[in-house]
């Protein structure tokens, strides 16, 4: 009898673990689908967005694109608008959309939290798997479209798109970023006191 109960207990634990992994994978895939829809939808309107301009970084909100993205139905209902350029996704990340210096800027604060002044303070819900999936499945394949990407971790790291790399042989190119590079970046960000963001400029 005890042997049967032990087997049932093992199977139950295994079943719960399997279910948890399946749910984690489902949420990751759902997040990636939503990010892809948002980013590629904005890129379809890149010509218009690049005509907007905000030279003064203190006036970024004047060129915020959250309402623009909402109007194009690119934002899932589960996202929460914070202001004209910032919103929460349901996974605990902060997404910023705005135009600066005639470029589309997408900031993704992974696990980001807001301080009392509404600024991104530190990560509280960082997912290394989401970070790695974003980089390998969404960001890196955009190397031909992006001007550059920037990681706000350590002292920061920038990788450039094809158009910049073509004219600058010393630039770090997004097209040649390695899994080791991505793992180093994402693993560093597990520290809950670290602000980690992937910044894309098109």
pLDDT at 63: 73
pLDDT at 88: 92
Closest by alpha carbon to 152, among 131, 133, 175, 166?
A: 131
pTM for this structure? 0.81
pLDDT at 4: 62
pLDDT at 186: 86
Q: Which residues of the chain have pLDDT under 70?
A: 1-17, 53-62, 114-123, 153-156, 191-193
pLDDT at 60: 47
pLDDT at 131: 92
pLDDT at 118: 65
pLDDT at 143: 96
pLDDT digits (tens, 9 = 90+) for 71-100: 999 999 999 999 999 999 999 899 999 998
pLDDT at 47: 92
């Amino acid at each position: 009898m005890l042997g049967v109960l032990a087997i049932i207990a093992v199977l139950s634990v295994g079943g719960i673990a399997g279910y948890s992994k399946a749910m984690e994978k489902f949420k990751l895939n759902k997040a990636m689908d939503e990010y892809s829809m948002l980013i590629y939808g904005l890129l379809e309107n890149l010509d218009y967005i690049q005509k907007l301009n905000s030279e003064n970084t203190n006036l970024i909100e004047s060129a915020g694109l959250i309402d623009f993205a909402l109007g194009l139905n690119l934002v899932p209902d589960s996202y929460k608008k914070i202001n004209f350029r910032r919103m929460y996704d349901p996974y605990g990340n902060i997404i910023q959309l705005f135009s600066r210096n005639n470029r589309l800027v997408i900031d993704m604060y992974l696990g980001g939290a807001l301080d009392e002044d509404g600024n991104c303070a530190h990560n509280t819900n960082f997912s290394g798997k989401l970070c790695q999936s974003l980089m390998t499945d969404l960001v890196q394949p955009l190397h031909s479209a992006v001007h550059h990407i920037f990681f706000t971790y350590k002292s920061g790291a920038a990788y450039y798109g094809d158009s910049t790399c073509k004219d600058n042989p010393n630039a770090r190119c997004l097209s040649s970023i390695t899994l080791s590079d991505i793992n180093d970046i994402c693993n560093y960000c597990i520290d809950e006191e670290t602000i980690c963001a992937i910044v894309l400029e098109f």
